[in-house]
Amino acid sequence: MEVRPVQPPAGFIVNETNARQCPGVLETSWGNAVDAANLVRDAIYRSTIALDQQDWNGWLEQCDDEFQYAIKSWSPEINKDMTYLALDRKGLENMIKLLPKHNTDHSPLTRHTSVYTVEMNGDAIAHAVSSVIIYQTLLDGINSHIDAGESRLFLVGKYIDKLKIKDNKAKFISREVRLENRRLDKGSHWPI
């Protein structure tokens, strides 16, 4: 798909930054203009919904065959990146098949995702950075009679995504979950 400037869509506010062209707008082979940045945002938010619903296969459907996934965090103590998980799509598919056999914490996670930036390059590839805050609603635990139903902060971090735009759809090529905290709780085997 060739990326080229097109006339701004109705309602698009023209300013100094976009007066010459309309960045982030793709023209498909049949002439329909699609706002690529909105496609990327939509894909990120839909992936958040699928993850919240533990619809792992639905989440994977939004990923390209060459998808790469990693969970990382910087450790000032050892002055290095720590990698908690690094898998390709096939590895994630195998992990997801095994999830029902794992001893996991069944307390649901709720993600609050906010897309910060979406940048397009000339070959229909988008780079996006999103903030993610994940809350956990406790079902059981050491003091289940006290803690059950309590929601607590689980993780804070960013999604660093790379997506490709094809046929008016954005598909994930890679996602790095960059954690601020460095401790993942027991039983958290699923994709974040």
Q: How far is CA 23 from CA 30, 37, 58, in A?
A: 19, 9, 30
- What global pTM score does this model have? 0.78
What confidence score (pLDDT) does residue 131 get? 98
The more confident residue out of 165 and 35 is 165
What confidence score (pLDDT) does residue 17 get? 46
Digit-coded pLDDT (tens) for 93-118: 999 888 777 766 778 889 999 999 99
DSSP code for 188 = -
Q: Cα(24)–Cα(62) distance, rounded to whole angstroms?
A: 20
C-alpha 79, offset from chain centre: 26
Q: How far is CA 48 from CA 65, 79, 112, in A?
A: 19, 31, 8
Q: Quick one: which of 9, 8, 39 has its CA closest to 124? A: 39
Cβ(35)–Cβ(28) under 8 Å?
Answer: no
As a whole number of Å, the end-to-end CA separation of the chain is 31
Average pLDDT over residues 161-165: 96
Cβ(62)–Cβ(46) under 8 Å?
Answer: yes
What confidence score (pLDDT) does residue 151 get? 80
Tokens 């976009």 found at: 18
Residue 172 has pLDDT above 70, yes or no: yes
What confidence score (pLDDT) does residue 190 get? 76
Helix spans in 3-88 (H) = 36-52, 56-61
What confidence score (pLDDT) does residue 6 get? 44
The more confident residue out of 189 and 54 is 54
Q: Set out the domains of the chain in order of their start, with CATH numbers.
A: 25-179 (3.10.450.50)
Digit-coded pLDDT (tens) for 114-160: 999 999 887 789 999 999 999 988 776 666 656 667 788 889 999 99
Digit-coded pLDDT (tens) for 30-88: 333 348 899 999 999 999 999 999 999 999 999 999 999 999 999 999 999 999 999 99
